[in-house]
Structure 1
Amino acid sequence: EIQAARHNARIYGVADRIEFVIGDCLQLLKSIQADVVFLSPPWGGPEYLDFAAAYDIRTMLSVGGKDGEEIFRLARQHTRSVAYFLPRTLKPEQLGALADGNISEVCEIEGHYLNNKLKTKIAYYGDIAGKTEPKLA
């Protein structure tokens, strides 16, 4: 997967501005300084569909004994700009609750579709989140 990211960085002319780091996030977050952190924790792959009604990052996601909310907070200690890759069934309210209410922070949620079916979500926080008001249908 990292090769695809490097390839895309070259295509878009930004490879000289990106340092890709691969490793255990709990170890890396102790020492790294980053402009952006992209979190893609193991959330179960196809098996999570057994719990499709309500995926919860506090109870169903665990890395090194830390839940999904704790992992997010660790990343935020190093940068305000975090992208969080998660399953489609995670409720938007739970993602929004991770935003910093003290500064009226925006949480932008992007859905990834395949054959008109929602497959995954990425939540963006900090400087990489959109600045527009949500449109309600």
Structure 2
Amino acid sequence: MMKRFAILIVVLAATGCGSAQEPYEDDPKSTKAGLMNAIENRVELPAGSKPLDRYARTYKFASENRISAAYFIPDTRFINDACQSAKSGGSKNGQIVMLCPPPDGMKAGERRWFDRETYLPAQSDGGCSYIEIEYSITFDTVITIRCNGNA
């Protein structure tokens, strides 16, 4: 009996049965890096924005077919209290990338993919130093892109 079980395991492994394959295996957008590239190739930054490489760029799945992104110009004047406050909110607090110095925080030109449970960094003002983006995977298009208002 044990010999049959061992043979079955070898056959299953050889055929790939049960292997976790990424969806859209032949599509370059099947990987997170590919999705980030697709968005960055499609996005037209709003008037008043800086060049793309001046922004730190964060991404996450908003749903199965939609990606939310936040682009921001990192502030190099880090305030330890703000960073510690963000960290006290837990590792799922996306503000850490805006308020802390690298490696926890981000620098211009860097991009990161967040898991679904992590909040994207958010800002309520700042004009085009902070940009929000929604992207449809299904339609391969940027649905919305907007700069924040000014306080």
Measured against the shorter chain, the TM-score band is under 0.3
TM-score (structure 2 length as normaliser): 0.24
More relative contact order in 1 or in 2 (CA 8 Å, sep 6+)? 2
